[in-house]
Amino acid sequence: MMKSHLPEEKLLRLIREKPASRSVPAIAKTSLRPARADGKFFIGLFYGILILILAGLVSFLAYRIFAEPQPAHRLLTQAEEKSLEDPDALPVLAKEILPFDHYQEQLTKRDLFERPLAQVAANASVDLTKRYKLVGIVLGDVPEAIVEDLTNKTTMFVREGERLESVQVKTIEEGRIVFLQEGLEIELKQ
């Protein structure tokens, strides 16, 4: 028997042959295509869209910053427009600028980290009327006021310039006493 006809020899011959000479079935050829080719297309499309959006945003911001005209002045109200027609009736749009010493004096009058004066005024008068009661006034060379502390149920005699805890007595007149609290005048009457 010939060796070339043996099944082992046929198998060895198939293995030794060149791969190009072997024929691959048609079904196998279609399945050999890379499956990621469609995924690369969609990823590339996604990146392209992102780049277009980014370029649009950059151009929009560049236009807003550099090319868009800025308004030179604010819009005028109807009253200001009418006053522009009559130069004698021009409103004063800018306040007079005062020297720094004026503003420094205003800043030293009160602590900037406390409540605003409007709140202090509203609360201070209510606090004083709830806490103190003017019982009487002794007029003489040095006037004195008789003040009752409603929280402690004590009575005190105070003179002008003296302090009652956080308030200072400014003036004592017939039937009333004026306190100073954080630069505000608060009045108590009998």
pLDDT in tens, 111-122: 667 666 566 555
- Domains in the chain (CATH in brackets) are 132-190 (2.30.30.830)
Q: C-alpha dihedral over 62, 68, 73, 77, to 10 degrees?
A: -120
Q: C-alpha dihedral over 41, 45, 51, 52, to 10 degrees?
A: 150
Residue whose C-alpha is closest to residue 149's, from 132, 163, 135, 168? 132
Compute φ and ψ for 70, nearest 5 degrees. -90, 140
User: Any idea which residue has 């108590």 for tokens?
Assistant: 188
Tell me the CA distances in angstroms from 67 to 56, 60, 61, 73, 77, one per residue in order.
15, 10, 10, 18, 28
Tell me the CA distances in angstroms from 38 to 33, 44, 49, one per residue in order.
11, 10, 17
Q: Which tokens belong to 182?
A: 């954080």
- Side chain identity, residue 124: A
Q: Can you give the pLDDT at residue 22? A: 53
pLDDT in tens, 51-102: 999 999 999 999 888 876 665 555 556 666 665 566 555 454 556 788 889 8
- Side chain identity, residue 23: S
Q: Can you give the pLDDT at residue 49? A: 96
Question: Which long-range contacts link 120-124 to residues 24+ away (Cβ below 8 Å)?
Answer: 120/181, 120/182, 120/184, 121/184, 124/181, 124/182, 124/184, 124/186
Q: Tell me which of 100 and 181 has the higher pLDDT.
A: 100
Grade residue 145 by pLDDT with cuts at 50, 70 and 90.
Answer: very high
Out of 15-24, 44-53, 67-76, 176-185, pick the least confident. 67-76
- Do the strands 132-138 and 163-164 form a parallel or antiparallel pair, or are they unpaired? unpaired
Out of 10-14, 18-22, 27-31, 98-102, pick the least confident. 27-31
Grade residue 33 by pLDDT with cuts at 50, 70 and 90.
Answer: low
Q: Can you give the pLDDT at residue 30? A: 54
Q: Which tokens belong to 147?
A: 């003040």
One-letter-per-residue 3-state SS of 47-60: HHHHHHHHHHHHHH
Contact 3, 9 (CB under 8 A): yes
